[in-house]
């Protein structure tokens, strides 16, 4: 069952956590002014500034911040400071009953993909794929449109991808509808064989990534293909693949790799969406019904809030 969180209202409190890698502290601190401009109050996780190697603190402390923010009645939404690596390390230890009893907006992308998938599978809660505070919104040159897409949290209503935002290309013609899932390709592949294995059956699957050579994208898509995940999907929303270029002279291009696997699946697909590690970054809810008209390059998504 799909569960939508309550919309935000001016004066609400936002909980900020760092469930993956240590965020850039200057960017994080700079992002607070943006949240305040939206009329929101800020509550920091106790361990948001922790550092433990490439992790933003120990598994136990990052998990504690996640649990505390969902349990805190004052907090109406939880926004991740950044991605990197680490959410898969805590996924199996999350008390999903806490989340199921406290339906809140949960926002992030990249490594947060693992939590999007796990939370929705275990609780049915709609979560949000969007730019994060230290990684994106708190940068000195943060994109205005990326910030504006956050307004979807205040007013329920369907979202339509703005066709003037990026150049879209139809890969396979047709029309597909289904629950929109997905996110970072690397993280989706990392769920295979676990209790949180991505379910693509009759779903619209979003994929994006960063800093992966075409051969690495090939390996990941091949694993999804062999696992039956591409054939099971209803269609594909191909987001941004930032800096996914070959490091060697002899290589297939990213476009050739994507075309190979999308043609094998032969489901409606469009590429070129500014979704992922890009600017501007179009934000959207995951776990809601969506419609992809691949022939006319139109993506419409149900509201993620109530």
pLDDT, one tens digit per residue, over 210-259 is 999 999 999 999 999 999 999 999 999 999 999 999 998 899 999 999 99
Q: Which tens digits make up the pLDDT trace of 176-198?
A: 999 999 999 999 999 999 999 99
pLDDT at residue 144 greater than cutoff 90: yes
**pTM of this structure:** 0.97
Q: Which tens digits make up the pLDDT trace of 250-293?
A: 999 999 999 999 999 999 999 999 999 999 999 999 999 999 99
pLDDT value for 98: 98
Q: Which tens digits make up the pLDDT trace of 19-72?
A: 999 999 999 999 999 999 999 999 999 999 999 999 999 999 999 999 999 999
Instruction: Please say whether the beta carbons of 75 and 43 come within 8 A.
Output: yes
Q: Which tens digits make up the pLDDT trace of 68-106?
A: 999 999 999 999 999 999 999 999 999 999 999 999 999
Give the whole-angstrom CA distance, residue 108 versus residue 130: 5
Give the whole-angstrom CA distance, residue 40 versus residue 61: 25
pLDDT value for 248: 83
The residue-averaged pLDDT of 150-174 equals 97
Structural tokens at position 195: 């209790």
Q: Mean pLDDT in the chain? A: 97
Q: What are phi and psi of 214, to 5 degrees?
A: -55, -35
Give the whole-angstrom CA distance, residue 175 versus residue 74: 42
Q: In angstroms, what CA-CA distances link 114 with 16, 80, 229?
A: 18, 13, 16
96-101 long-range CB contacts below 8 Å, 24 or more apart?
96/122, 96/123, 98/67, 98/70, 98/71, 99/70, 99/123, 99/125, 100/124, 100/125
Give the whole-angstrom CA distance, residue 68 versus residue 150: 23
Residues annotated as part of the active site: 110, 208, 277
Q: What percent of the chain has pLDDT over 90?
A: 99
Spell out the domains of the chain, with CATH numbers in brackets.
Answer: 13-142 (3.40.50.10740), 159-301 (3.50.30.60)
How deeply is 194 buried, as exposed, middle or buried, from its count of CB atoms within 10 A (0-12, 13-18, 19+)? middle
Using pLDDT thresholds of 50, 70 and 90, give the confidence band for residue 171.
Answer: very high
Instruction: Enumerate residues 6+ apart whose C-beta is below 8 A from 217.
Output: 185, 209, 241, 244, 254, 257, 258
């Amino acid at each position: 069952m799909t569960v939508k969180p309550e919309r935000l209202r001016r004066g609400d409190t936002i909980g900020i956590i760092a469930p993956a890698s240590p965020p850039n502290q200057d960017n994080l601190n700079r992002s607070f002014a943006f949240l305040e401009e939206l009329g929101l109050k800020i509550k920091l996780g106790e361990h948001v500034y922790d550092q433990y190697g490439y992790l933003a603190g120990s598994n136990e402390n990052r998990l504690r911040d996640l649990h505390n923010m969902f349990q805190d009645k004052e907090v109406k939404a939880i926004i991740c400071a950044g991605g990197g690596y680490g959410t898969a390390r805590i996924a199996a230890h999350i008390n999903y009953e806490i989340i199921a009893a406290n339906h809140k907006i949960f926002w992030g992308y990249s490594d947060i993909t693992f939590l999007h998938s796990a939370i929705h599978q275990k609780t049915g809660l709609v979560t949000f794929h969007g730019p994060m505070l230290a990684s994106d919104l708190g940068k000195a040159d943060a994109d205005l449109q990326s910030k504006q897409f956050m307004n979807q949290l205040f007013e329920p209503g369907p979202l339509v991808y703005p066709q003037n935002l990026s150049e879209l290309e139809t890969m396979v013609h047709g029309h597909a509808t289904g629950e929109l899932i997905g996110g970072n390709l690397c993280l989706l592949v990392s769920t295979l064989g676990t209790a949180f294995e991505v379910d693509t059956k009759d779903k619209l699957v979003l994929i994006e990534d960063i800093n992966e050579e075409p051969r690495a994208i090939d390996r990941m898509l091949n694993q999804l293909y062999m696992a039956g995940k591409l054939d099971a999907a209803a269609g594909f929303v191909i987001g941004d693949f930032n800096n996914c270029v070959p490091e060697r002279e002899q290589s297939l291009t990213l476009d050739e790799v994507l075309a190979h696997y999308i043609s094998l699946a032969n489901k409606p697909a469009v590429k070129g969406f500014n979704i992922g590690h890009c600017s501007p970054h179009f934000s959207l809810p995951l776990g809601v019904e969506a419609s992809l008209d691949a022939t006319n390059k139109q993506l419409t998504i149900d509201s993620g809030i109530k």
